[in-house]
Amino acid sequence: MILQFPPNGRRERSGVVKAGREIEVESFRIIDEEMGRHSFPTDQWPIIRRVIHTTGDFDYAHRLGFTPEAVSKGIEALKKGAVIYADTRMVQAGLSPWRLEWYGNKVVCPAANPQSLELAEKSGVTRTLAAFRNCGHGLDGALVAIGNAPTALLEVIRLIKEEGVRPALVIGVPVGFVQAEESKNALMEIAEQPSITVLGRKGGSSVAVAIIHALLELAEKTDAR
């Protein structure tokens, strides 16, 4: 992979070879064509489209939920170099290093800390829940990306409600059958917390990654104007 560095020191948007970029552009064209006319806001459609591109599933167009300032707050935080807290290493590994370098965003997976396992065993909770509980106000101003663990999302919601923790954006898209749908519904009920979710059982780490990539692309485009 050959990466070019522009005069401002950031990597080019096309951090992939030309052929790969052409396939992506054609994929987006097909999605636009098959989707047809729609009323999605201009700041939300690029996120929805990238999730469809990642999953091959148009059903996401009707399942993604956004609070009013979710996109703008997410972009603002990323451009300030906000840390991204991920519930799994899959999210951490899936994020493109060349995109993250645009604004110097670091990705942290709290559950990878051995202390999280010790705390989880003592408390009788899941490792990811314990990991995010241990973060506390470290989540203030950060992006929280949860694609796998509903218990982690429920803990983040508790931190917001009970301890006044204020992430810049919560991307809550855990997949599954136990507490996944309930946790996402609970997230959307917090009107004052900027958030993006997938209603129902669908979601996953790849969806969380797609949303962050789309936000980074949107941030970069505002700088390019």
- This prediction has a pTM of 0.89
Sheet holding 64-66, edge to edge: 64-66, 195-198, 169-172, 143-146, 84-86, 107-108
**Across 25-37, average pLDDT:** 91
Q: Is the pLDDT of residue 60 over 50?
A: yes
Lowest mean pLDDT among 11-15, 23-27, 137-141, 205-209: 11-15
The C-alpha atoms of residue 135 and residue 132 are separated, in whole angstroms, by 5
Which CA distances in Å does 54 have to 57, 65, 177? 8, 17, 21
Question: Comparing C-alpha atoms, which of 43, 45, 70 is closest to residue 58?
Answer: 45
Which CA distances in Å does 219 have to 6, 37, 78, 215?
17, 25, 8, 6
Q: Burial, 96: exposed, middle or buried (Cβ in 10 Å; 0-12, 13-18, 19+)?
A: middle
Q: What is the pLDDT of residue 118?
A: 67
Is 38 assigned a catalytic role?
Answer: no
Answer for the pair 170, 193: CB distance below 8 angstroms, yes or no.
yes
Closest CA to 110 of 133, 94, 142, 90: 133
**Residue 64: pLDDT over 90:** yes
HEC profile of the chain: CCCCCCCCCCCCCCCCCHHHHHHHHHHHHHHHHHHCCCCCCCCCHHHHHHHHHHHCCHHHHHCEEECCCHHHHHHHHHHCCCCEEECCHHHHHHCCHHHHHHHCCCEECHHHCHHHHHHHHHHCCCHHHHHHHHHHHHHCCCEEEECCCHHHHHHHHHHHHHHCCCCCEEEECCCCCCCHHHHHHHHHCCCCCCEEEECCCCCCHHHHHHHHHHHHHHHHHHHHC
Residue 143 to residues 29, 47, 148: CA-CA distances in angstroms? 29, 16, 16
Share of the chain above pLDDT 90, in %: 74
Q: What is the pLDDT, as a whole number, of residue 16?
A: 66
Q: Is the pLDDT of residue 7 over 80?
A: no
Confidence class of residue 11 from pLDDT cuts 50, 70 and 90? very low
Whether the per-residue pLDDT at 142 is higher than 90: the answer is: yes
Q: All domains of the chain, ordered by start, with CATH?
A: 18-224 (3.40.50.10230)
At 44, give phi and psi (nearest 5°).
Answer: -90, -30
The pLDDT tens digits of the residues spanning 66-95 come to 999 999 999 999 999 999 999 999 999 999
- pLDDT tens for 151-202 read 999 999 999 999 999 999 999 999 999 999 999 999 999 989 999 999 999 9
Q: Of these residues, 38, 53, 62, 213, which one is catalytic?
A: 53
